[in-house]
Structure 1
């Protein structure tokens, strides 16, 4: 038996930090990750991501990501 959850919310998480290497996505300091926030739609998450990415443009190893939480919440 499967359960379907139909929610209109499309939650997105924006976070980032300094990577160990430009070749991967392993962070130097996982407990120190910058959790920007959880956003109700992709447009607002993208705006927050862009702001953080532009603010850290001088740090080549700092990266920010948008995670589609709504995809992870589906059973």
Structure 2
């Protein structure tokens, strides 16, 4: 069984309905997690911490899909926070 790594990252967006970051150099990388459940907990903590900033959003990227050449790559999951 392969590892199912997930990256949690976020920052301030140019538009709260979009996915373009205002300053790519300021993207906050929360970390890489060994499973979706731990990535979701980290995402949720950051989303709750920044709840008063409508322009700030965090995402979970499924890294395992990028490195698993056997499976079709799908879109990155974006969760509003």
**Off by >4 Å, runs of 4+ in structure 1:** none
User: Which of 56, 59, 66 does residue 60 from structure 2 map onto?
Assistant: 66
| 1:23, distance to aligned residue in structure 2 (A) | 2.6
Instruction: Say how many residue pairs are matched.
Output: 69
Specify which structure has the bigger relative contact order, considering alpha-carbon pairs within 8 angstroms and separated by 6 or more residues.
1
Give the greater-gyration-radius structure (CA). Answer: 1
In 2: Cα distance, 1:50 partner to 1:21 partner: 20
CA RMSD of aligned residues (A): 0.9
Match of 2:48 among 51, 54, 67: 54
Structure 2 runs not aligned, ≥5 long: 70-81
Q: TM-score normalized by structure 2?
A: 0.82
Which of 50-59 and 18-27 deviates more?
Answer: 18-27
